[in-house]
Structure 1
Amino acid sequence: MLGIRLDETLEHRLDALAERTQRSKSFLAKAALLRYIEEEERKQYENDLTVARWEEYQETGETISNDAMTDWLESWGTDQEKSCPTK
């Protein structure tokens, strides 16, 4: 169980939204918290992935050239779309 103290302005906004949507304040708060947590988890996953990629690069020095990436991107949406370049 979680209890949260809201400032007066936020409390009034939540009350108004609950009334307009005919949802409980608890329902709205739970939905908002769920969205926030999912977004923060996604950001953390992306950050972890970026760090892992950076560490791999530092160990191997392997990259994909800008020309290869540009060539691939320019093929998007054409009949001759190319596969993603690999190291």
Structure 2
Amino acid sequence: MASATSVKLDDDMKARVRHLAEARKRTSHWIMREAISQYVEREERREALRHETLEAWEEFRETGQGATADEVDRWLQSWGRDDERPAPECGK
């Protein structure tokens, strides 16, 4: 269920939203909902990546196992070639 929420915009931003809504043949309400939705989705993905990165860093600190940047770079550069390399193994 949706509920109303107020957002205070300065006059310039309000005019920009209104102009974009007119150009897209949408309502200002639709533009703002879409913008918020896209922002929240992007930030959720960013937060998940940050969390995964911190977990990987903690695992590395505990085990000391990982691949060097050079190993990963060589692997990535081989993608799509006939002589594609296997993923580097994590070692100490």
TM range (shorter): 0.7 to 0.9
In 2: Cα distance, 1:71 partner to 1:12 partner: 50
Aligned position for 1:77:
80
Q: Mark the CA change 1:68 to 1:3 in structure 2 (over 3 Å): closer, same or farther.
A: same
The structure whose RCO (Cα within 8 Å, separation 6+) is larger is: 2
- Equivalent-residue separation in structure 2 for 1:69 and 1:61 (angstroms): 16
| Equivalent pairs, count | 87
CA distance in 2, matches of 1:55, 1:38: 26
Deviations 1:26-47 (A, max 9, x none): 1110000011001111110111
- Provide the rounded CA distance (Å) in 2 between the counterparts of 1:17 and 1:65: 47
* Structure 1 unaligned spans of 5+: none
Cα distance between partner residues in 2 of 1:86 and 1:42: 27
Structure 1 pair 65/16, CA: closer, same or farther in 2 (3 Å)? Answer: closer
Query: Which residue of structure 2 aligns with residue 38 of structure 1?
Result: 41
User: Paired residue for 1:9, among 6, 9, 12?
Assistant: 12
Deviations 1:43-64 (CA, angstroms, capped at 9, x unpaired): 1011101100110011101111
Q: C-alpha distance in 2, partners of 1:8/1:58?
A: 50
Q: 1:76 deviation in Å? A: 2.0
Ranges in structure 2 where 5+ consecutive residues have no aligned partner: none
